[in-house]
Amino acid sequence: MNSRNWVRLFLSTLLIGALSASIVGFAVKWGEYRPFFQSFNIGEILSALLWFIGIGLIFSIISQMGFFAYLTIHRFGLGICRSVSLWNSVQVLLTAFILFDLVYLQVIMASSTESDVSPSRYIMAGIVVVAGLVVALIKVKQTNQAAFIPGLFFMIVVTIIEWVPALRANDTGWLYLMLYPLLICNAYQLLILPRLIQNSQRERRNTSARMKAM
């Protein structure tokens, strides 16, 4: 991919992160901000909006770091395993382990505070799995069946790793506020990548044709 399309991916993902965090933020914190909307308190609304945009940009950068890290790890894994099927098996095992660890972590955290595990925690884990399956299936339609397991691994494992700061905070509001922008940004990057690569290849061909014509 050429630099122009990298910049396009970076900026568009930033925008998506800011928009998604703003929408999710007001939805999650609606009880807190509803009085400001009812009284048309523009100052408080804009202040909250700027806050959500700021954290959305941070979530977007975290998502992009995870995406580029996975692209590197994916190539490295293929080189080490020397077999697509073996590397896919490793990714499946890692995905199962991370999901188990996510649920087990919730049980440990609840037992340490002598409280029950909130059903919302299991719901969020289910959301990650469903989102991963949906995006992976779309990726297969875009490319081929070989993209299913890498897509699923990225959407589940990488998202959960990026989600760790909110998991450590153990606050339901922050868990939702960080999860949805991460899922949206990760899905966007995964699905837009083939188009940007095609654009880069076409731009290179056009540039090469112009150079030969000179």
Locate the domains of the chain by residue range.
Answer: 3-213
| pLDDT over 60 (residue 208) | yes
Give the integer Cα–Cα distance in Å for 51 and 167: 20
Query: Among 66, 40, 41, which residue's Cα sits nearest to residue 190?
Result: 66
* Per-residue pLDDT at 34: 80
159 band by pLDDT with thresholds 50, 70 and 90: very high
Q: What is the mean pLDDT of residues 3-31?
A: 90
How far is residue 131 from each of residues 146, 152, 195, measured CA to CA in Å? 18, 9, 21
Contact 22, 52 (CB under 8 A): yes
From 199, 155, 159, 201, select the one nearest 179 (Cα to Cα).
159
Q: How far apart are CA 46 and CA 190, in angstroms?
A: 32
The whole-number pLDDT of residue 207 equals: 66
Q: What percent of the chain has pLDDT over 70?
A: 86
Cβ atoms of 196 and 5 within 8 Å: the answer is yes
**Res. 38: pLDDT tops 80:** no
Q: What is the pLDDT of residue 89?
A: 93
Q: How confident is the model at residue 99 (pLDDT cuts 50, 70, 90)?
A: confident
The average pLDDT across 82-98 equals: 90
Which position has the token pair 């499946």? 92
Gyration radius of the chain's alpha carbons = 20
Average pLDDT over residues 31-48: 80
Q: Which of 105, 95, 20, 24 is nearest to 63 (CA)?
A: 20
Confidence grade of residue 213 (pLDDT, cut at 50, 70, 90): low
For tokens 């339901």, name the residue. Answer: 172
Residue found by looking up tokens 């290849």 in the block: 201
Contact status, residue 57 vs residue 18, Cβ threshold 8 Å: yes
Instruction: Give the pLDDT band (50/70/90) at residue 124.
Output: confident
Q: Sorting pLDDT into bands at 50, 70 and 90, what band is 114? A: very low
> Measured between alpha carbons, how far is 91 from 201 in angstroms, rounded to an integer?
29
Closest to 124 (Cα-Cα) out of 70, 168, 178, 169 = 178
What pLDDT, on a 0 to 100 scale, did the predictor assign at position 184? 96
200 contacts: CB under 8 Å, gap ≥ 6: 1, 2, 4, 5
Q: Contact at 8 Å (CB) between 65 and 80?
A: no
What is the model's pLDDT at position 211? 64
Res 111: pLDDT: 52
DSSP string, 160-176: HHHTHHHHHHT-HHHHH
Instruction: Specify the pLDDT at position 118.
Output: 59
pLDDT band at 88 (very low <50, low <70, confident <90, very high): very high
102-113 mean pLDDT? 60
Check whether 212 has a pLDDT greater than 80.
no
In this predicted model, what pLDDT tens digit does every residue of 135-158 receive, in sequence order?
999 999 988 888 999 999 999 999
